[in-house]
Amino acid sequence: MINVLEQRRAQIHRKGESTAPLVCDRKSVAGSVTQRACAFCGSRVVLYPIADALHVVHGPIGCAAYNWDIRGALSSGPQLHRNSFSTDLQELEVIYGGEKKLKQSLGELIDHYRPKAAFVYSTCIVGVIGDDVEAVCRQVSREKGIDVIPVASEGFRGTKKTGYQAACEAAYKLVGTGDTSSIGPCGINILGDFNIAGESWLIRRYFEEAGIEVVATITGDGRVDDLRRCHGAKLNLVQCSGSMTHLAKLLERDHAIPMRRVSFFGIEDTAAALYEAAKFFDDPGVLERTQVLVNREVGRVYPELKRYRAILEGKKAALYVGGAFKAFSLVKALKLLGMKTVLAGTQTGSPEDYALLREICDDGTVIVDDSNPVELAKFILELDPDLFIGGVKERPIAYKLGVGFCDHNHERKIPLAGFEGMLHFAREVHASVMSPVWQFVPRRAARAVGQPTRTPPTPVNHPAHAPGDGGRPASIDGALHVNSED
Amino acid sequence: MNPPTTATLSIPIAWQFQPGVPDAQPALGVAGEGRIASEAPIHEPRAATRNACKVCAPLGACVVFSGIENCVPFLHGSQGCATYIRRYLISHFREPVDIASSSFSEEDTVFGGARNLRLGLANVAGQYTPQAIGVATTCLAETIGEDVPRILAEHGAANSGGPELVPVSTPAYAGTHVDGFHRTVRRVVEHFATPTPPHAGINLLPGFVSPEDLRHLKELVAAFGLPCTLLPDYSDTLDGASWPEYQRVQPGGTPTRAIRRMSGARATLELGHTLLGSGADTAGRWLHQTHQVPRMPLALPIGLRETDAFMAALGELAESGCPDDIQRERGRLVDAMVDGHKYVFGKRAALFGDPDLVIGLCSFLDEIGVRPVLCASGTRQAAFEPAIREVLDHSEADDLQILTGADHARISEVAREVRPDLIFSSSKGYPLARELEVPLIRVGFPVHDRIGGQRLLHVGYRGAQRFFDLIVNTILERRQDRSETGYSYL
Ligand code: SF4
Ligand code: SF4
């Protein structure tokens, strides 16, 4: 019997059993082994894909080392962002201050790499040892002639959400400093997509085909100059609930650019996002091209999705992800595959998020805020899902208990956005759920007692698809073969 | 997925910013052309650490605590450190790694985190019912001067019958994961070991090796019939079986009652060349000084000679010769070295990672005629360079470069000069191997881009055998792939 910590009870609900709002937006309970990270991590996630900027982490080495080149955010040009630069503070600097080392580090790195701008991230101890990071940044900026921007990302300030906000503030320092004269009348920014496995490219291609100009993808495949001129767009499409909303709000406040919340995960949401932009511009040509595109793309992926659905119908999924918007999209995407969501949790959802989540989930679905490994294991045992969707930290819990797992985090290397992303997602889910390995896992094997020992697994001939393979529906064996248009 | 036609996808070449790519334009009046290779000597940035070849001390502490039976690691500080470290460890071991945190908030950094620490300890005790909680400090807790031993002592006194609370101070600004590992082993022994009547068992302190290494070491010691306390022992806890039912804490690990009795052991075998010198403040030394347990310091048994030394030590303790099985294993290794020597002779190798692993591999490569041309460690240790020179009997290259306290940027710079044929490192050496177009043989930690990092065997004759086959076959494969003819018979 696994018990939930008393202090955490109010952060767990089962739909249909209570109508009281879920308690959330709280700081994690000490010792609960939260799956949440820190503010610094949030800032790093958001600004990381800006590929021609220098990113320097001011603090001891670990904070920088643990996220060196783990993210799947791609750049079509410079690769500077993939480095991990740290001031690697040592004992004496902790005692006497790290400003000198920071200044020297910045100077040398800027001379050497010639970045377009630099971001300086503060980690926890920087706030405590009293370094005036802003002053150092101002000074270096003057000396080197580039923007050197401090990011107030001390980990203890809060969760990733706090860090997103700090990152938006930092990025906003660049906005409005570039020339917008070459931007046409139908320009948009896409915020909150990080070009994981090339997703921003995919989305950009959709809009360009429809005749909508993408001024900046923020921050996927990001460039300093794109940020400088992004205020020349007419509309901001904001994906991923928490991360970039603040920047969009700043753009709305200062530049009167309206924002729309969208998601590019799943067929419905991707189509809705494209139509949202098309309708905004009220241009019949754009709308028509969008329709053609959506019809074609849906037609391309739908037959294969249907086959997967036939196999996956009725399977149960559990999801525990960072932000709530991803959870909404996933619930819908799973529905499309015939699957039922039995657990929906997020690290940092807001009250409105959870209200909406409750609305779109079936009765009996467990909804949880800021969960931990012990609870997640408990939910797996009670709800018995066939699939768990989460990040690397959730994976071993699922695997140890014999449950399939899909990575839907920034470390993944497979594009899941857009229409073809849905196909990748379906293949992932299929490969996770239908693998014959689960029959040997003790927890499941125990259940099969009494059944013939050699039940042949459902024959699945899984398409070998590598990330970046062009996303074409691979031709698979007879049962699953899809007549794609190529 | 293809990038849009408007963007050109360039294959990333290592970690260098490519000033020549189309969209890298001059920034704000700064000459942005970037430098070209032929320019006069360029001042490489030295102040910052670029792509560290180390992680932080609390990670080492968490690995040690994970190797103690029914023990939960706990980090005192903000929660981000624990979350990062968990993810880093999970990506390598592919096992659940629950590390609790006192989850500092802004106020705690001002008023101290004692309250959070106590609450956290109570919650961990409630959720996991552990026998012990290992509390390591993060940089933040150290910087604000938390007196963790005192808080733990008070908490322990107020909660008798609760888990054993073991504090260790691990500020990352004073040491890497390797230092954190050794320091924690010492703290654990200091904490638990109590005066015990002498017994026939031995202590084995292996250092930060893989779970597979731990299993093999246990097997070797058992073959000599020696009862042994291995500390830490994460061979099951960080490489466990699929669960029949939920496990709060993964089964396995060194039992605390065994650690208590380490003080009565016949000897302590402490592995690691860098611990040989008189400076190191190790658990083995403490057991010697405090409980008069003889200390037998040895290098990690990597390769033939160091494994021979390890076997000799075991033989001495067991007062017996090397068991037949092991001798035959040794015989097969020598036989294989003869079969394959031509393929590897004179090859140039770059090795980097944790000091003792690099020293051990160096020693082995020296036995087979591979010439180390670059040996580097991220952890700074004065003993590193002399140790490397000491183990190189046959193959010290004229242009051998030894770096300690180096980062990957520096290692890559030197590697470009010395042009190795092979690279031995963790996954973090992949970008360099890709750039230099040479094979990477993955060793140590972390292995984040392959499965089975926890099952890499480095030690013993068997480990050397595995390495030898892997090295030869890697060279053969490369040669075969690059030959025009493509013989299937080599
Ligand atoms: S603050 Fe210190 S302990 Fe925490 S991740 Fe950074 S280096 Fe490691
Ligand atoms: S919580 Fe603070 S010290 Fe830890 S990783 Fe985050 S910024 Fe670094």
Query: With bands split at pLDDT 50, 70 and 90, how would you rate the model's confidence at A451?
Result: low
Residues of B in Cβ contact (< 8 Å) with A115 = 17, 27
Residue partners of A18: CB distance under 8 A and separation at least 6: none
| CA pair distance B85, A393, nearest whole angstrom | 10
Residue partners of A303: CB distance under 8 A and separation at least 6: A482, A483, A484
Our answer on whether the CB atom of B79 is closer than 6 Å to any ligand 1 atom is no
| Residue A453 scores a pLDDT above 70 | no
Higher pLDDT, B5 or A161: A161
Helix (H) or strand (E) holding B217: helix B211-223
Q: What is the pLDDT of residue A20?
A: 79
| CA pair distance A204, A237, nearest whole angstrom | 12
Shortest Cα distance from B239 to chain A (angstroms)?
11
| Residue A96 at interface with chain B, using a CB cutoff of 8 Å | no
Q: Which of B11, B17, B133 is the best substitution to test chain A (most A C-beta atoms within 10 A)?
A: B17
Strands (E), B124-239: 132-137, 164-168, 202-205, 228-230
* Burial annotation A420-445 (CB, 10 A radius, 16+ → b, else e): bbbbbbbbbbbebbbeeebbebebbe
| Residue A35 at interface with chain B, using a CB cutoff of 8 Å | yes
Give yes or no for a contact between B265 and B293, defined as CB atoms under 8 angstroms apart: yes
| CA pair distance B132, B167, nearest whole angstrom | 11
The token duo for B430 is 């992949």
Q: Report the residue of chain A nearest B47, measured CA to CA.
A: A105
Give yes or no for a contact between B274 and B356, defined as CB atoms under 8 angstroms apart: yes
At the topology level of CATH, where does B52-298 sit?
Rossmann fold (3.40.50)
Give residues (CB < 6 A) around ligand 2. A 38, 40, 59, 63, 123-124, 155; B 78, 80-81, 84, 138, 140
B10, B12, B18, B22: CA torsion to nearest 10? 20
Domains of chain A (ranges; CATH) run 1-32+302-486 (3.40.50.1980), 39-172 (3.40.50.1980), 187-292 (3.40.50.1980)
Angle A351-360/A324-336 helices, nearest 10 degrees?
Answer: 10
Residue type, B158: A
Q: Which of residues 146-165 of A touch B (CB under 8 A)?
A: 146-147, 155-158
Q: What is the pLDDT of residue B14?
A: 38
| CA pair distance B357, B445, nearest whole angstrom | 10
| CA pair distance B203, B186, nearest whole angstrom | 13
The residues with which B205 forms a beta bridge, in sequence order, are B270
Residue type, B134: G
| CA pair distance B29, B15, nearest whole angstrom | 25
- Residue from A38, A41, A63 whose mutation best tests the ligand 1 pocket (most atoms within 8 A of CB): A63
Is residue A314 exposed (0-12), middle (13-18) or buried (19+ Cβ within 10 Å)?
exposed
Q: Which DSSP letter does residue B437 get?
A: T
The token duo for B28 is 């704000």
Kindly write down the DSSP assignment for every residue of A193-211, as one continuous string: E--BTTHHHHHHHHHHHHT
Residues of A in Cβ contact (< 8 Å) with B124 = 31, 33
Q: What is the pLDDT of residue B245?
A: 86
Q: State pLDDT tens for residues A92-124.
A: 999 999 999 999 999 999 999 999 999 999 999
| Least confident interval from A156-165, A250-259, A440-449, A461-470 | A461-470
CA nearest to A219, candidates A49, A335, A353: A49
Q: What is the pLDDT of residue A1?
A: 64
Give yes or no for a contact between B203 and B267, defined as CB atoms under 8 angstroms apart: yes
The token duo for A253 is 């406040």
Give yes or no for a contact between A210 and A203, defined as CB atoms under 8 angstroms apart: no
Give yes or no for a contact between B78 and B104, defined as CB atoms under 8 angstroms apart: yes
Our answer on whether the CB atom of B59 is closer than 6 Å to any ligand 1 atom is no
Edge-to-edge strands, sheet with A213-219: A213-219, A187-193, A235-238, A259-261
What is the β-pairing status of strands A187-193 and B228-230?
A: unpaired
Specify the residue with its C-alpha closest to ligand 1, atom 1. Answer: B139
CA nearest to B298, candidates B67, B460, B464, B57: B460
Neighbours of A484 (CB within 10 A): 15
Listed by start position, the domains of chain B span 1-46, 52-298, 325-482
CB contact under 8 A, B52 and A201: no
Give yes or no for a contact between B365 and B392, defined as CB atoms under 8 angstroms apart: no
Give yes or no for a contact between A461 and A476, defined as CB atoms under 8 angstroms apart: yes
CB contact under 8 A, A82 and B109: no
The hierarchical CATH code for the domain B325-482 is 3.40.50.1980
| Residue A473 scores a pLDDT above 70 | no
Q: What is the pLDDT of residue A35?
A: 86
Is residue A469 exposed (0-12), middle (13-18) or buried (19+ Cβ within 10 Å)?
middle
Helix (H) or strand (E) holding B391: helix B384-391
- Which of B4, B32, B109 lies nearest to residue A201, judging by beta carbons? B4
Q: What is the pLDDT of residue B279?
A: 66
Residue partners of A107: CB distance under 8 A and separation at least 6: A140, A143, A144
Residue type, A432: S
Give yes or no for a contact between B19 and B25, defined as CB atoms under 8 angstroms apart: no
Centroid of ligand 1 to alpha carbon of B59 (angstroms): 9
- Which of B28, B91, B121 lies nearest to residue A392, judging by beta carbons? B91
Neighbours of A179 (CB within 10 A): 10
The ligand 1 atom at the shortest distance from the C-alpha of residue A64 is: 6
| Residue A448 at interface with chain B, using a CB cutoff of 8 Å | no
| CA pair distance B157, B149, nearest whole angstrom | 12
Residue type, B28: L
Mean pLDDT score of chain A, rounded to an integer? Answer: 89
Give yes or no for a contact between B361 and B304, defined as CB atoms under 8 angstroms apart: no
Angle B79-93/B57-66 helices, nearest 10 degrees?
Answer: 60
User: What ipTM was assigned to the predicted interfaces of this complex?
Assistant: 0.90
Q: What is the pLDDT of residue B1?
A: 42
CA nearest to A183, candidates A233, A221, A217, A218: A233
What mean pLDDT comes out for the span A51-59?
Answer: 98
Q: State pLDDT tens for residues B161-208.
A: 999 999 999 999 989 999 999 999 999 999 999 999 999 999 999 999
Helix (H) or strand (E) holding A217: strand A213-219
Residues of A in Cβ contact (< 8 Å) with B248 = 374
Furthest CA-CA distance within chain B: 77
Give yes or no for a contact between B120 and A372, defined as CB atoms under 8 angstroms apart: no
The token duo for A105 is 């580090």
- Which of B1, B104, B122 lies nearest to residue A202, judging by beta carbons? B1
Kindly tell me the sign of the dihedral angle through the C-alpha atoms of B180, B454, B81, B252.
negative
Tens digits of pLDDT across chain B (490 residues): 444 433 333 333 333 433 333 333 333 323 333 333 333 345 689 999 999 999 999 999 999 999 999 999 999 999 999 999 999 999 999 999 999 999 988 888 888 899 999 999 999 999 999 999 999 999 999 999 999 999 999 999 999 999 999 999 999 998 999 999 999 999 999 999 999 999 999 999 999 999 999 999 999 999 999 999 999 999 999 999 999 888 999 999 999 999 999 999 999 999 999 998 766 789 999 999 999 999 999 999 999 999 999 999 999 999 999 999 999 999 999 999 999 999 999 999 999 999 999 999 999 999 999 999 999 999 998 999 999 999 998 877 788 999 999 999 999 999 999 999 999 999 999 999 999 999 999 999 999 999 999 999 999 999 999 999 999 999 999 999 998 888 888 8
Cβ pairs A/B, distance under 8 A: 326
Q: Comparing B52-298 with B325-482, is the CATH topology the same? A: yes
Q: What is the pLDDT of residue B278?
A: 65
What mean pLDDT comes out for the span A176-199?
Answer: 95
Residue partners of B221: CB distance under 8 A and separation at least 6: B202, B204, B228, B230, B314
| Least confident interval from A70-84, A422-436, B360-374, B389-403 | B389-403
Q: State pLDDT tens for residues B363-372.
A: 999 999 999 9
